[in-house]
Structure 1
């Protein structure tokens, strides 16, 4: 991934945008990654993958519910907390 400092991104905005059309660009501030700039197409693809993942999880949850695999939330969290 290409990286620009915040100052470079400001002074070379056009170049940064052009590069972001080809691949995500990391912007650092004070030497640490701060944000990523990417094309709208890449952003939309990521959002679609997130939505597909959510739909798959919902479908699995519905199937488990219909199969009678239902758990009480408090019991589940109590079991998890025992290990902490």
Structure 2
């Protein structure tokens, strides 16, 4: 994961976009990580994975409730 200061992210926005398309970018403000920028494709993949896990987890919870 790359790291950029908030100032560099603002001043070099094109570089931030190009970098985030290849890997996660942690944006720091006053030396602390505050946000992570990622490619839209990676966000979609993670969102879909999270939704699948939620559905599987909810199904498990429902089956456990029925068994009680």
Q: Same fold (TM over 0.5)?
A: yes
Alignment: residue pair count:
68
After superposition, give the CA deviation of every residue in 1:5-47 in whole Å (9 maximum; x if it has no partner).
0000011110110010011111000000010110001111111
TM-score normalised by structure 2 residue count? 0.93
**1:66 positional shift:** 2.1
**Root mean square deviation, CA, Å:** 0.8
Structure index of larger Rg: 1
User: Larger strand proportion, structure 1 or 2?
Assistant: 2
Question: In the alignment, what sits opposite 1:7?
Answer: 7
Which runs of 5 or more structure 1 residues have no equivalent in the other structure?
69-84
TM-score normalised by structure 1 residue count? 0.76
Q: Which runs of 4+ in 1 moved over 2 A?
A: none
